[in-house]
A and B are shown apart, each in its own frame.
Chain A
Amino acid sequence: MIQFSSFQEFIEMGGYAFNVWSVYALFTVFLVANLLLPMRRRKQLLRELKRRRIAAEQMQKNTEESARLERAASSLGEST
């Protein structure tokens, strides 16, 4: 049995509109926040880890490149 005869009555909650709706609003905020915050953190974390990975690869490439250049320079020096 629905306890309310009109939508207006449902919103008024028998004079307890503030109490009931504020609790349900807090509950909604709580549910949404505790699902969204970990999900956002996950996205940030994945982005951060990816960035680090790319940076590490780049660094490795750079060191390889400079080692190659050095080798080239030293062989050039020997030949002259």
Chain B
Amino acid sequence: MWTWFHRLGSPKWFYEISGRWLPWLTAAMLLFLAVGVVWALLFVPQDYQQGLTNRIMYVHVPVASISLAFFPMMAVAGTVSLVWKMKLADMVVKVAAPLGAWFTALALASGSIWGIDTWGTWWVWDGRLTSLLLQFFLLIGMISLRSALEDGDAAAKACALFSIVGSINVVVIKYSVDWWNTLHQPATNFTADPSQPNGPEIWVPLLLMVIAVYLFFIISVILSTRNEILYRERRAQWVEELVSQS
């Protein structure tokens, strides 16, 4: 088990294995995405309340669900990098922060466009939107912390620690914002909750889209991590060979 763990920590090993996985992952993502998008846009029946805006759900829900997973994921990777000094884990913490900001921004944008009709405005201080917005700020703070601490090792440790503190904090923020919002206004306006789909014709395409977006997330983490590996290992023999072949 430990040899496996150490191999996983080796950037070279990860670079090679991920290079072999990428084509398959990309093919699978494109397949799921194509079927999911076509199904969602063309075949899903209208929602009796929201009409055709329910098509937004098929983008918003997968993206938002992954954005919520970013801080826990960074905290796990950060713990691994702090405890076992695994270089690869720090690279994941590093590349996850900007990617998380992208995902959170899209979740916010699609959520507020969806809300134009349900709520009548672009923005309401809804609990979910507000906590996502705060998470977005924390991610931006994390990116600027990383870029300010130029030194590799100190930046790795500081960002790992911040990801752990941040993930605890995101949970507290989420609960407190929900509490704040439900006390302010009862949740009557926010029945847009799509977590209770009514039948397979609604949730099967959603499942396909969730899988597609998860695959996309994995692919983009792998792509950025490979770049990071190339940069950090630029003096290693195998990178030099790779560079001269390119």
Asked whether the complex places CB atoms of A and B closer than 8 A, the reply is yes
Q: Which A residues fall within an 8 A CB radius of B? A: 1-4, 10, 13-16, 19-20, 22-24, 26-27, 30-31, 33-35, 38-39, 41-42, 45-46, 49-50, 52-53
Q: Is B130 an interface residue (CB 8 A)?
A: no
Q: How far is the CA of A23 from the CA of B46 in the complex (A)?
A: 17
Nearest-CB distance from A22 to chain B (Å)?
Answer: 6
Residues in B whose Cβ lies below 8 Å from that of A50: 243-244, 246
**Among listed B51-59, B135-143, B157-165, interface-contacting one:** B51-59
Cross-chain contact of A19 among B46, B102, B116 (Cβ < 8 A) = B116
Q: A-B pairs with the 5 shortest C-beta distances?
A: A38-B223, A14-B52, A49-B243, A27-B59, A13-B52
Nearest-CB distance from A43 to chain B (Å)?
Answer: 9
With A15-B51, A23-B56, A49-B239 known, 5 other A-B pairs at CB within 8 A are A24-B59, A26-B106, A34-B216, A41-B224, A50-B246
Cross-chain contact of A38 among B41, B110, B113, B227 (Cβ < 8 A) = B227
Q: Which B residues fall within an 8 A CB radius of A? A: 33, 37, 41-46, 51-53, 55-56, 59-60, 63, 99, 102, 106, 109-110, 113-114, 116-117, 216, 219-220, 223-224, 226-227, 230-231, 234, 239-240, 243-244, 246
The answer to whether A42 and B230 touch across the interface, beta carbons within 8 angstroms, is yes
B interface majority secondary structure: helix
Q: How far is the CA of A19 from the CA of B110 in the complex (A)?
A: 9
Cross-chain contact of B231 among A27, A30, A45 (Cβ < 8 A) = A45
The answer to whether A31 and B223 touch across the interface, beta carbons within 8 angstroms, is no
A interface majority secondary structure: helix
Nearest-CB distance from A9 to chain B (Å)?
Answer: 10
Closest-by-CB residue of B relative to A56 is B240
The answer to whether B45 and A3 touch across the interface, beta carbons within 8 angstroms, is yes
Closest-by-CB residue of A relative to B106 is A30
Nearest-CB distance from B168 to chain A (Å)?
Answer: 28
**5 sampled A-B residue pairs with Cβ under 8 A:** A2-B43, A16-B51, A20-B41, A23-B55, A27-B63
The answer to whether A2 and B42 touch across the interface, beta carbons within 8 angstroms, is yes
Q: How far is the CA of A52 from the CA of B243 in the complex (A)?
A: 10
Cross-chain contact of B42 among A10, A34, A38 (Cβ < 8 A) = A10
Q: Which has the most chain B C-beta neighbours within 10 Å: A1, A23, A24, A50?
A: A23
The answer to whether B113 and A22 touch across the interface, beta carbons within 8 angstroms, is yes
Residues in A whose Cβ lies below 8 Å from that of B60: 23
Cross-chain contact of A41 among B55, B56, B227 (Cβ < 8 A) = B227
Q: Which has the most chain A C-beta neighbours within 10 Å: B51, B63, B110, B243?
A: B243
Q: How far is the CA of A13 from the CA of B55 in the complex (A)?
A: 9
Q: How far is the CA of A36 from the CA of B33 in the complex (A)?
A: 17
Nearest-CB distance from A23 to chain B (Å)?
Answer: 5
Residues in B whose Cβ lies below 8 Å from that of A4: 42
Residues in A whose Cβ lies below 8 Å from that of B230: 42, 45-46, 49
Residues in A whose Cβ lies below 8 Å from that of B224: 38, 41
Q: How far is the CA of A45 from the CA of B110 in the complex (A)?
A: 33
Q: How far is the CA of A45 from the CA of B223 in the complex (A)?
A: 13
Residues in B whose Cβ lies below 8 Å from that of A38: 220, 223-224, 226-227
